[in-house]
Each structure stands twice: as C-alpha cells, then as structure tokens.
Amino acid sequence: MKNLIVLVYLLFSISGNGQIDFVKHADLLLNAHRALEKNDTKKALFLYESAFKIHDDNSIAEYLNAATCAAKLKNEESCKKWIITSIQKEKAPKKSLLSFSDNEFYQNCLSSILPHYNSYLASFYKSIDNPMVYYQIQKLTNRDQFTRKLTDYDMGISEEQQETAFREYLKAQASKDTVALRKYQAIIFPKVEKVYKDYNLKIMRYTDSLNVAKLIDITKEHGWQEEGWILLWHQRGIYGQKNWVWDFFKPFIDKEIEKGKITPFFWAKFEDITSIYKTGKSIYGYHPGPVDAKTVNIRRKSIGLPELTAQEIENRNNRKGGGRVF
C-alpha cells in the first residue's frame, strides 16, 4: 500500500508546463535516505528510482546508494544500471566506485563494468550541451581547488590521506574517541605558520575574485552553469551584501528560480552558513550545524524542503551525523 501511495505521488511529479518538481524530488531522496538508514532496502531503492525519474541531476552517492540497495536485493540489472548512471551522469571516479561498498554482489557487478569504464565516461562528455563553456568552468574550478591545496602540497599530505582521515575522523567523532580525533584532525587541519597561511589566503582570495568575474561573464552569455556552483559558494563570506558579485548573481538566479529552472532552495545553504556565522545556528538545517527546533521546519516548508523528524533535529543539534545535508 505504501508503495502504491508513493507511485501515485510520483505520477504527479512533473507539472503541466514540463518543469522539474524539485520539491517532490527532494522529499523522495530524503525518504530514501531514511529507509536506507532503517535497512529497508526495497523501499529505499523504490524511492531512489522514483526520485531519479523526476530529475536526473543527482549525486554520485545517491546513484551508488541505489546500486547498493539493488545489490542487497540481488537485482543485478538495477545494480549495474545505477553504477553505470553514476559514471554517465556524474563521471564517478573509479576509486569512488571501488570504495563505496564492500557488498560482494555490488563488487561483482562493478567488476564487469570497470573494463568498459572509459566508454561510459565518454557518454558523459558527449552529453555536454556546450563543451567550450564546460571546459571553461572546469579550468576555473581546477584553479580554485589548486589554491586550496597549497598547504597540503607543501606538507606532503595527499588527497587519499585527506579522504581517509576525514572518514576516520567522523567515525572517531561518533565513538567519542578523543585520541583518534586529534590524530586525524592534524591531517585534515594541519598547523601552518602564520606567514605562510596569510600568503596562501591572499592567493586564494585573489584567485576567487578572478574566477567569479569570469563566471559572471560566462553566465551573462550562456546562462547559469551548475558546475560553477563551487565558485559561487566560495563567495559565501560576502553573501547578502551589496557588491558587484551579489548585485549580479542574486537577481539573476532568483529569476531562474521563478521560471522553475533552478531549485527553490538554491540559496538555503548560503543563508544557513550566514546564519551560523552570526548566531551559531542554521536556518533550514540544509548546511551542517545546529538548528532551532521550533522554527526549522516552518522555514524549510517555506522554500519547499521536506520537514526533518524530531530525531533528525536532535541528532543535528547534538552534532551526530551533522554532516548530512537534507
């Protein structure tokens, strides 16, 4: 009966004018995550697949969660389908595919896919509407990330070490292992001499300014490019202020939201982090951080985000699983 209700819900997921129903898409993904946490893999897979039918812009983790659910259900066709989709839609790296799940069925499906990885990846690049613009954004993003890794390069800390340390840090945080927390914190947030830190900060800020200026030029000519989100996110420190960056992007993206081309909760993370800086709490619980239990769901509803449960609010306020974005 529950599956039938969700199916009816899905049938009305696309509005008459062909716009994406971002609200129902978000609701389905959150409920899929909840089902997965309760180990209800059949329901989780159904909800993930329902969400994917509404909108094909999903994260690597969401596609691979669906693949893992299918693996647990011994559904080879579905398992392979969502692994392949994660490559074709989100260019999932091989190492992410390999490390995502140790489920034997999942790994067997993956082993038959990896020999053809390059051909699936080619599908991603063939699907790009404007390759010239895409590669322009990639160039800016690469420059952005390079400036943020200068300290790691100088201290000999690899990306793999950072990724491993972050996973172990979260485990240590959950188990309250203070010794392990200090160990992995030293890798994630290494101590840097002030002079060197200040120099790196100047480089980063200068690069961010160059990048966002170019992003404005690209957006004026070709419209908003989702790949440029990280470049805009790195302007969050001045979000809401009157300046040349936000005087352009705020009204431009607001119009795109009104047209239904961009999700109505595009600004949620920006507003959350701004609120955290000022009050210590996020408004919507869309960015990691504590929330106001009395107002968070009212605020979420106002922009179309699904409500958080009382337990999810409590976990967020106790910083358990606080990294999860809903």
Segment 9-32 shows an average pLDDT of 73
Q: Is 282 helix (H, G, I), strand (E, B) or coil?
A: strand
pLDDT recorded at residue 322? 57
pLDDT recorded at residue 325? 65
Count the Cβ atoms, other than its own, within 10 Å of residue 232: 21
pLDDT digits (tens, 9 = 90+) for 274-305: 999 999 999 999 988 899 999 999 999 999 99
Segment 231-257 shows an average pLDDT of 97
pLDDT digits (tens, 9 = 90+) for 141-158: 999 999 988 888 777 888
pLDDT over threshold 90, residue 104: yes
pLDDT over threshold 60, residue 310: yes
Segment 18-23 shows an average pLDDT of 87
pLDDT digits (tens, 9 = 90+) for 186-236: 888 888 888 888 888 999 999 999 999 999 999 999 999 999 999 999 999
pLDDT over threshold 90, residue 64: yes
Q: Is 54 helix (H, G, I), strand (E, B) or coil?
A: helix
